[in-house]
Amino acid sequence: MKIIVPNAGSVPDQRTAGYVINIAKRLNAQLVVLRILTENETEAAGEQSINLFIENGKEEKVPVNGILRRGDIALVVIEVAEEIGSSSNTLFLERFFNNFYFYF
């Protein structure tokens, strides 16, 4: 199973990364962190966001792949889901207003 975690705008904090890693670990899933850069955001800032998940994943032995893209958020999410072979065993994890939502 793969869990896709799209992120744009604000950099996730340590608590968020730990929470997402814990979900992936419990589901024995691979985590795909998709960082969508805003117009003024540098690639270095985007990589910092991805690295937070990668480091937490290493500590918990959860495989994490990071993808860095620019573009319309919805279109990029769809594009990446198609690229990685999204199927019925792919889970989307979104965060809105400090709540997590899962999409199958």
Residue ranges of domains in the chain, CATH in brackets? 2-103 (3.40.50.620)
**Angle, to 10 degrees, between the axis of helix 14-26 and the axis of helix 43-60?**
50
What's the whole-model pTM score? 0.79
Give 43-77 pLDDT, tens digit per residue: 998 999 899 999 999 999 999 999 999 998 888 98
Can you give the pLDDT at residue 43? 92
- Averaged pLDDT, 14-19: 87
CB 90 within 8 A of CB 2: yes
CB 22 within 8 A of CB 61: no
Can you give the pLDDT at residue 93? 57
| CA 86 to each of CA 18, 21, 28, 45, 102: distance values in angstroms, whole numbers, following the listed order | 24, 19, 17, 27, 14
